[in-house]
Amino acid sequence: MSRKILIVDDDPSVCATMKYILGRAGNEVRTSVSASEALSLAQKDQFDLLISDLVMPEQDGIELIRKFKNAFPRKPIVAMSGGARLGTPDTLSSAHAAGADALLPKPFDADSLLTVIEVAFAKQIRPLRSGS
Protein backbone atom coordinates (compact mmCIF):
# COMPACT_ATOMS: atom_id res chain seq x y z
CA MET A 1 0.00 0.00 0.00
CA SER A 2 1.55 3.26 -1.14
CA ARG A 3 1.52 6.11 1.35
CA LYS A 4 2.55 9.73 0.96
CA ILE A 5 5.21 10.54 3.53
CA LEU A 6 6.79 13.91 4.34
CA ILE A 7 10.26 13.82 5.92
CA VAL A 8 11.76 16.88 7.62
CA ASP A 9 15.42 16.94 8.65
CA ASP A 10 18.02 19.67 8.31
CA ASP A 11 20.55 17.04 7.18
CA PRO A 12 20.02 16.34 3.46
CA SER A 13 21.81 12.97 3.71
CA VAL A 14 19.30 11.76 6.32
CA CYS A 15 16.45 12.88 4.04
CA ALA A 16 18.01 11.08 1.07
CA THR A 17 18.56 7.85 3.01
CA MET A 18 15.02 7.81 4.35
CA LYS A 19 13.57 8.67 0.95
CA TYR A 20 15.46 5.75 -0.59
CA ILE A 21 14.35 3.25 2.07
CA LEU A 22 10.72 4.35 2.09
CA GLY A 23 10.57 4.68 -1.69
CA ARG A 24 11.86 1.12 -2.13
CA ALA A 25 9.05 0.02 0.19
CA GLY A 26 6.52 1.51 -2.25
CA ASN A 27 5.85 4.88 -0.62
CA GLU A 28 5.72 8.29 -2.26
CA VAL A 29 8.17 10.48 -0.34
CA ARG A 30 8.82 14.21 -0.22
CA THR A 31 11.61 15.75 1.84
CA SER A 32 12.25 19.13 3.38
CA VAL A 33 15.23 20.58 5.21
CA SER A 34 13.18 23.14 7.16
CA ALA A 35 10.01 23.27 9.23
CA SER A 36 8.59 26.25 7.34
CA GLU A 37 9.05 24.52 3.98
CA ALA A 38 7.48 21.34 5.38
CA LEU A 39 4.40 23.20 6.58
CA SER A 40 4.07 24.84 3.18
CA LEU A 41 4.31 21.46 1.43
CA ALA A 42 1.74 19.98 3.82
CA GLN A 43 -0.72 22.78 3.04
CA LYS A 44 -0.36 22.18 -0.72
CA ASP A 45 -0.39 18.38 -0.74
CA GLN A 46 -2.02 15.72 1.41
CA PHE A 47 0.44 13.51 3.25
CA ASP A 48 -0.39 10.35 5.16
CA LEU A 49 2.50 10.69 7.63
CA LEU A 50 5.02 13.25 8.89
CA ILE A 51 8.49 12.25 10.06
CA SER A 52 10.27 15.14 11.75
CA ASP A 53 13.68 15.57 13.29
CA LEU A 54 13.45 17.20 16.72
CA VAL A 55 16.59 19.34 16.53
CA MET A 56 16.64 21.80 13.64
CA PRO A 57 18.13 25.29 13.47
CA GLU A 58 15.25 27.44 12.18
CA GLN A 59 12.40 25.90 14.17
CA ASP A 60 12.59 22.80 16.32
CA GLY A 61 10.68 19.64 15.55
CA ILE A 62 8.51 19.90 18.64
CA GLU A 63 6.99 23.13 17.33
CA LEU A 64 6.59 21.64 13.84
CA ILE A 65 4.87 18.57 15.28
CA ARG A 66 2.52 20.77 17.29
CA LYS A 67 1.60 22.86 14.23
CA PHE A 68 1.19 19.81 11.98
CA LYS A 69 -1.01 18.04 14.56
CA ASN A 70 -3.19 21.16 14.90
CA ALA A 71 -3.62 21.40 11.13
CA PHE A 72 -3.97 17.64 10.51
CA PRO A 73 -5.14 16.03 13.78
CA ARG A 74 -5.75 12.55 12.33
CA LYS A 75 -2.39 12.20 10.55
CA PRO A 76 0.29 10.12 12.28
CA ILE A 77 3.63 11.69 13.21
CA VAL A 78 7.02 10.14 13.90
CA ALA A 79 9.57 12.19 15.86
CA MET A 80 13.23 11.39 15.35
CA SER A 81 16.49 12.57 16.83
CA GLY A 82 19.94 11.45 17.81
CA GLY A 83 19.89 8.76 20.49
CA ALA A 84 21.34 10.92 23.27
CA ARG A 85 18.81 13.72 22.83
CA LEU A 86 15.90 11.38 22.15
CA GLY A 87 16.59 9.40 25.27
CA THR A 88 15.94 12.22 27.72
CA PRO A 89 12.59 12.11 29.49
CA ASP A 90 11.88 15.78 28.72
CA THR A 91 12.35 15.27 25.00
CA LEU A 92 10.26 12.11 24.93
CA SER A 93 7.42 13.68 26.85
CA SER A 94 7.61 16.89 24.79
CA ALA A 95 7.44 15.01 21.49
CA HIS A 96 4.53 12.90 22.72
CA ALA A 97 2.71 15.92 24.21
CA ALA A 98 3.14 17.79 20.92
CA GLY A 99 1.42 14.94 19.07
CA ALA A 100 4.06 12.42 18.02
CA ASP A 101 2.69 8.89 17.69
CA ALA A 102 6.09 7.15 17.57
CA LEU A 103 9.78 7.88 18.12
CA LEU A 104 12.74 6.96 15.93
CA PRO A 105 16.26 7.24 17.35
CA LYS A 106 19.17 8.03 15.03
CA PRO A 107 21.07 6.21 13.80
CA PHE A 108 18.47 3.79 12.50
CA ASP A 109 18.39 0.91 10.06
CA ALA A 110 15.85 0.19 7.34
CA ASP A 111 13.91 -2.32 9.44
CA SER A 112 13.61 0.10 12.37
CA LEU A 113 12.37 2.86 10.08
CA LEU A 114 9.75 0.67 8.44
CA THR A 115 8.62 -0.74 11.79
CA VAL A 116 8.20 2.65 13.47
CA ILE A 117 6.08 3.86 10.55
CA GLU A 118 3.77 0.89 10.94
CA VAL A 119 3.55 1.58 14.68
CA ALA A 120 2.57 5.21 13.99
CA PHE A 121 -0.13 4.17 11.51
CA ALA A 122 -1.44 1.49 13.91
CA LYS A 123 -1.88 4.09 16.65
CA GLN A 124 -4.14 6.09 14.34
CA ILE A 125 -6.53 3.17 13.85
CA ARG A 126 -9.45 3.50 16.24
CA PRO A 127 -11.45 0.36 17.09
CA LEU A 128 -15.14 0.46 16.28
CA ARG A 129 -17.55 0.31 19.17
CA SER A 130 -19.64 -2.82 19.21
CA GLY A 131 -23.20 -3.41 20.33
CA SER A 132 -24.90 -0.05 20.02
Mean pLDDT score, 97-121: 91
Helix intervals (H) in 45-88: 61-71, 83-86
Of all residues in the chain, the percent with pLDDT exceeding 90 is 62
* pTM of the model as a whole: 0.87
* DSSP single-letter state for residue 75: S
Write the pLDDT tens digit of every residue in 66-103.
999 999 999 999 999 875 455 555 666 788 888 999 98
Residues recorded for the chain:
132
- Integer Cα distance of 53 and 124 in angstroms: 20
